[in-house]
Amino acid sequence: MRNFRAAFSRSVLGVTFRKFKRKKLEFYRHRVHNEAVTQRTQEWLYEYLLTQTNLKNISDFKLKTDMTIEWDEDGKIEALKDITVTVYMKVGELSVDRLEFKKKSETISVDLFFSEIDASSQKLRNILPSLIDSMGKENFYYKEHNFQTEKGRKVAQPYGVKLVPTVVINAENRLENPTERQLQEEIEKAFSPDLMATKPEFFLEPIKKPVAELLAKSSITTFEIRTS
């Protein structure tokens, strides 16, 4: 109950304060009313779950509440509506002592295989250098290969390039006639740092009750609470 009360109060009173604090005196004179409304609502919701559902040991579960709050112009809570209380049980917990990110030190190689006679190739010959410059050309080893020449076709063979234009990133990622967005996404992936996790552990929570059976027996109720 304590955790539910704290979370519910943060949800209602916290939102109310942030929205109406600029009203100052007009808002603060409703403080006692708003706190009383919040407390009465959370008590009613909790009591309903205890008495009107099969969830007798509500402390075995976690609760999350969503709602719409209605105020007057000065921040006095007039109604709480469209309330949904989600009841769930924690299955387990993953803990990690530390995550370290190490930037890849090697230069990213980008090879463009093009022809002199198609428009898509010429478009990529303009896009790629500009994109590489925007990411720091010192991080790249960029080369262009004319597929119409014997030398270009010879370089293309190990990469499996058969169509142009084709872009090869780090000698393994082959993109045939890519869009500018696809190029940017794939190059950014090549920049992704290596990640090292220290002591990752997953703890499975003990199941105290046949939760699925209990929830299946619980009824779903829609309601609205109004205050005077």
Domains of the chain: total? 2
pLDDT of residue 212: 54
**What average pLDDT does the segment 22-43 reach?**
90
Amino acid at the residue 222: T
Q: DSSP letter string over 86-150? A: EEE---EEEE-SEEEEE---SPEEEEEEE-SS-HHHHHHHHHHHHHHHHH-GGGEEEEEEETTSH
Domain check: are 82 and 120 in the same one?
Answer: no
Residues 112 and 63 in one domain: no
Count CB neighbours of 55 within 10 A.
Answer: 20
In 3D space, the residue among 91, 142, 134, 85 whose CA is nearest the CA of residue 114 turns out to be 142
Dist. CA 211–CA 61, nearest whole Å = 9
CA–CA dist 175, 178 (Å, integer):
6
Does residue 151 share a domain with residue 79?
Answer: no
Confidence of residue 75 (pLDDT cuts 50, 70, 90): very high
- Mean pLDDT score of the chain: 85
User: Averaged over 143-157, what is the pLDDT?
Assistant: 95
Please state, for a pLDDT cut of 70, what percent of the chain lies above it: 89
The candidate with the shortest Cα–Cα distance to 77, out of 46, 38, 25, is 38
Let me know whether 132 and 162 are in one domain: yes
- The pair of structure tokens assigned to 6 is 């704290």
Peptide bond into 178 cis (omega under 30): no
Same domain as 222, residue 183:
no
Q: Is residue 201 part of a domain?
A: no
pLDDT at 207: 65
Q: Is the domain of 75 the same as that of 151?
A: no
* pLDDT value, residue 211: 59
Q: How confident is the model at residue 51 (pLDDT cuts 50, 70, 90)?
A: confident
- Most confident of the following: 30-39, 96-105, 188-197: 30-39
Task: Specify the pLDDT at position 189.
Answer: 85
pLDDT at 223: 45
Backbone angles phi, psi at 36, to 5 degrees: -65, -40
Please tell me the predicted confidence (pLDDT) of residue 227: 44
Residues 163, 112: contact at Cβ < 8 Å? no
**Residue 105 CB partners (closer than 8 Å, separation 6+):** none
Assign 222 a pLDDT band (cuts: 50, 70, 90): very low
- Based on the fold, state whether residues 159 and 109 are members of the same structural domain: yes
Same-domain check for residues 144 and 66: no
State mean pLDDT over 13-23.
91
Tokens standing for residue 51: 């008495």
Res. 225 pLDDT band, cuts 50 70 90: very low
Domain of residue 167 covers: 100-196
Q: Enter the pTM of the model.
A: 0.49
Segment 137-163 mean pLDDT = 93
18-27, 106-115, 180-189, 192-201: range with lowest mean pLDDT: 192-201
